[in-house]
């Protein structure tokens, strides 16, 4: 539980969420507009659903060819939540970190088709480090081995790997 909200782990679209229908206050579909993701959201019978127009769900229509930050801010604005697609800054965490101001590199993806090669992540991290950035690698427990490999390839070292040690919820401001 973070700031009154609970982030629920999901394993892609292959498995239904193991929650009793009607027990979720707000369900947000950040996966897309397809029938698989929308079906998972609708099965929750949440008090409020935030999604694109699809099936039974009301929401803005899905637009092809727009930037992701436009897509998601447009979605939540349609649902009455203020958002600015030009506000690219993240609030600092509400607790001290071992590397304040670090650049976060997330080396994982839910699907292999979206997974960038480790060597490219390592090259980016090495260049960021060379230009004075502190680096940390994020990811889940299943991505820890990959993050360790990228950290070693980039020369940042094992101490920069948060993957598998810090939850997604703990990265947001409390």
Q: Where are the alpha helices (DSSP H) in 45-143?
A: 68-78, 118-130
Could you report the per-residue pLDDT of 64-121, keeping only the tens digit for each?
A: 999 989 999 999 999 999 999 998 876 766 667 667 788 989 998 877 777 899 999 9
- The helix/strand/coil state of 5 is strand
Strands 135-138 and 26-28: unpaired
Please answer whether residues 59 and 75 qualify as being in contact, where contact means their C-beta atoms are separated by less than 8 angstroms: yes
Query: Which token pair is 12?
Result: 């892609």
Q: How far is CA 68 from CA 10, 22, 79, 109, 141, in A?
A: 21, 30, 17, 16, 26
pLDDT at 1 over 50: no
Cα separation, 103 vs 45, whole angstroms: 38
Query: Which token pair is 24?
Result: 């979720």
Please answer whether residues 160 and 135 qualify as being in contact, where contact means their C-beta atoms are separated by less than 8 angstroms: yes
Domains of the chain listed by start with CATH number: 1-88 (no CATH), 103-171 (3.40.50.2000)
Please answer whether residues 174 and 2 qualify as being in contact, where contact means their C-beta atoms are separated by less than 8 angstroms: yes
Could you report the per-residue pLDDT of 160-170, keeping only the tens digit for each?
A: 998 888 765 66
What pLDDT score was predicted for residue 148? Answer: 96
Query: Which token pair is 95?
Result: 């607790």
């Amino acid at each position: 539980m973070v700031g009154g909200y609970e982030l629920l782990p999901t394993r892609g679209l292959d498995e239904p969420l193991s929650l009793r229908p009607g027990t979720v206050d707000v369900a947000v579909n950040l996966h897309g507009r397809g029938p698989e993701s929308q079906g998972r959201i609708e099965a929750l019978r949440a008090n409020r659903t935030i999604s694109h127009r699809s099936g039974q769900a009301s929401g803005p229509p899905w637009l092809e060819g727009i930037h992701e930050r436009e897509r998601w801010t447009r979605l939540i604005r349609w649902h009455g939540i203020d958002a600015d697609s030009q506000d690219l800054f993240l609030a600092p965490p509400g607790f001290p970190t071992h590397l304040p101001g670090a650049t976060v590199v997330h080396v994982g993806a839910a699907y292999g088709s979206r997974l960038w090669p480790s060597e490219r992540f390592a090259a980016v991290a090495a260049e960021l480090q060379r230009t004075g950035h502190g680096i940390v690698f994020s990811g889940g427990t299943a991505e820890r081995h990959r993050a360790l490999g990228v950290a070693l390839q980039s020369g940042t070292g094992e101490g920069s790997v948060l993957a598998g040690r810090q939850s997604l919820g703990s990265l947001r401001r409390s």
